[in-house]
Structure 1
Amino acid sequence: MSSYSGAAAYKRGAGAYARVGVESGVMSASPHQLIVMLFDGALASMRAARIHMQSGNVAEKGKAISKALDIVNNGLMAALDEEKGGEVASRLASLYDYISRLLLAANLHSDEKSLDQAEALLEDVASAWREIGSQAGRE
């Protein structure tokens, strides 16, 4: 076995192990924890996009931003229930839409300021969401 094929096999095995860990976490998570996981995933993708943007790796920057967009649009936005959530859900939908537009601008123009703004806004919502969870756990 060459060192390349050994490294590739290791990478596949490590990836499968990580997926099992994530799947186990998802299966045992509460609805609140699932939203926290979505925030964490989107924010991690934004941080990865920044690293790729700064190093000039356009393809990987695009992949990372696409992943963040997917999480915001198909995870966080889709989880909103405007019927039960009322005005708060409606405002969050508007905020997620704005964050998506910032991410698109960041990708299109390699604009780190747009990426920074999107990350800061999402981190604000994520920290508030985490605080709700910690307070609910104390009651």
Structure 2
Amino acid sequence: MNGLQQYQRINAQTSITDADPHKLIQLLYSGALERINMAKAKIQARDYDAKGRLILKAIDIVAGLRGFLDKERGGDLAERLDALYEYMEKALWQANAHNDIEKLDEVSGLLRSIKEGWDGIREEAMSQQQAI
């Protein structure tokens, strides 16, 4: 492993250790988007083994996001997010099976939209967390 990769891994581990729950979700969104972008590059480079590993990691991250949903407290919004995450998982499986960059772009767009909303409520989430 080269120095840059070691630095990135240590930086990511430090970010996770120091992160609050809201930040952890932000890191998951970023991680999924990063893996999808890397998978697109691997498709273009015809490195299908690496592409498959990256997409599987993205699927795992989306499944993790889905698992964090609190359907009791989140109500209808949590249910809709659950359905959207399920759709993304299926789309990523299809993209993996067919080397479909358009499907990867579609999932990236959906993830970016959700991440932007999540990023936008950071202050509110932090104030609620401090009140607990």
- TM-score, normalised to structure 1, is 0.83
What are structure 1's unaligned runs of at least 5 residues?
A: 1-10
Secondary structure at 1:21 match in 2: helix
Q: 1:81 to 1:103 in 2, by over 3 A?
A: same
Q: Give the match for residue 99 of structure 2.
A: 110
Matched letter for residue 119 of structure 2: R
The Cα of 1:120 is off from its aligned counterpart by 0.6
Matched letter for residue 122 of structure 1: L
Out of 119, 124, 128, the position equivalent to 1:130 is: 119
Out of 73, 81, 89, the position equivalent to 1:100 is: 89
RMSD over equivalenced CA pairs, Å: 2.0
Q: Give the match for residue 42 of structure 2.
A: 52
> Number of aligned pairs?
128
Kindly report which structure 2 residues correspond to 1:1-139, keeping only aligned pairs within 5 A, or say none: 11=1, 15-73=5-63, 75-134=64-123
Structure number with larger C-alpha Rg: 1
If asked which structure has higher relative contact order (CA below 8 Å, sep 6+), I would say: 2
- Mapped to 1, the partners of 2:75 and 2:50 lie a distance apart of 37
